[in-house]
Amino acid sequence: MKLNPCCMNCQLRKQEAKIRHFDDEDRKKQYMEAIRRRFDNPKEGDCVPSISTELKKFYCSFWGVPMEDFSQINREYDQLMLDLEEELRSTIRYSADPLKTALIYARTGNYIDFAALPEVSQETALALIKSENKDTLDEQEYKNFCQDMKKAANVVYITDNCGEIVLDKLAISVLKKTFPNVRITALVRGLPAGNDATMEDAEFCGLTDLVPVLGNGSDVGGTWLHGISAHAQELLQSADVILSKGQGNYEPLHGCGLNIYYLFLCKCDWFIHLFQAKSLQGMFINERRSPAATAFSSD
């Protein structure tokens, strides 16, 4: 997904908000001018997650402050979801379609995203998960997904955020039971990236006991093909099916042409506009049949 004016403007607004508390107006002006110059000189493969990571590092070096530490937040949300795990597992098991139910829960957990939303709370996360009015999956894409899974040998499940990864674990567990002949590998961030899930989260929530888990070798808050390890790239290229969670993975992956099923909530103005969706509306779309493909091809 290429950078577009809406996303660029959003990034500029976020940067200005981050420096508003500083007193040196001349220094703030210099900082914002440097940010604007970066957008005026795009690089091949630029996307919102890669740019965001670059800007975070520039902010820290320019202002002499450390990177944000989400380790405590990650642990809190991982534990919050772990406390619900057995209850949700039971709900999934006794539902009419356990796989569909598990995927919907996993998608609902995509709310836990401190990068895309101005405010995230445990209360809202719990309310969304326990709500009886969750968006269902697109029926045709769900049928396509199940058909592809029946024929698949290797599947990659790309996780997104902390806490959410516990719900991913439940979904992967059901996938393994439904398609026992499929080898599933989970892909997490290789290094800390905001509140995204890393190997530490995968180990804490027990995902590593369920399937092989690979760190992607990158600190970008998304699966940016220009920045992930050769091993991670090979894993994706050889997959028959990829299930990708969150906007942060959709943004750098869309347009790659792989057989990716994207599962996410629309959380920002651009995604709401792009998919003609409501805020926090759930999406389940395929890379090769995405309704947004035409919009991006004209960028």
Give me the CATH number covering residue 87. 3.40.50.10880
Number of separate domains in the chain: 2
- On whether both 25 and 75 belong to a single domain, the answer is no
- On whether both 136 and 57 belong to a single domain, the answer is no
Residues of the chain predicted below pLDDT 50: 293-299
- Give the max Cα distance, the chain: 62
- On whether both 77 and 35 belong to a single domain, the answer is no
Whether 141 contacts 284, CB under 8 Å: yes
- On whether both 82 and 169 belong to a single domain, the answer is yes
- On whether both 127 and 261 belong to a single domain, the answer is yes
Residue that finishes a domain, picked among 63, 81, 98: 63
Residue that finishes a domain, picked among 13, 34, 63: 63
- On whether both 120 and 155 belong to a single domain, the answer is yes
5's enclosing H/E stretch is: helix 5-19
Distance of alpha carbon 43 from alpha carbon 117, whole angstroms: 26
- On whether both 133 and 239 belong to a single domain, the answer is yes
Reported as a single tens digit per residue, the pLDDT across 222-240 is 999 999 999 999 999 999 9
How many Cβ atoms sit within 10 Å of the Cβ of residue 281?
15
Distance of alpha carbon 168 from alpha carbon 281, whole angstroms: 18
Length of the chain in terms of residues written: 299
Treating both helix axes as pointing N-terminal to C-terminal, what angle do 98-108 and 122-130 enclose, rounded to 10 degrees? 160
Residue that finishes a domain, picked among 63, 83, 98: 63
Reported as a single tens digit per residue, the pLDDT across 35-92 is 999 999 988 889 999 999 999 999 999 999 988 899 999 999 999 999 999 999 999 9
- On whether both 104 and 125 belong to a single domain, the answer is yes
- On whether both 253 and 176 belong to a single domain, the answer is yes
Q: Which residues contact 229 (CB under 8 A, 6 or more apart)?
A: 190, 215, 216, 217, 218
pLDDT for residue 115: 93
- On whether both 59 and 109 belong to a single domain, the answer is no
Tell me the residue ranges of DSSP E strands in 189-293: 213-215, 241-245, 260-265, 282-286
- On whether both 188 and 233 belong to a single domain, the answer is yes
Domain limits at 16? 5-63
Cα–Cα distances in Å, from 92 out to 104, 144, 202, 248? 10, 21, 21, 26
Phi, psi torsion values for 158, nearest 5 degrees? -95, 115
pLDDT for residue 3: 82
In 3D space, the residue among 116, 111, 109 whose CA is nearest the CA of residue 52 turns out to be 116
- On whether both 27 and 137 belong to a single domain, the answer is no
pLDDT for residue 283: 98
Question: How do beta strands 282-286 and 183-188 pair?
Answer: unpaired
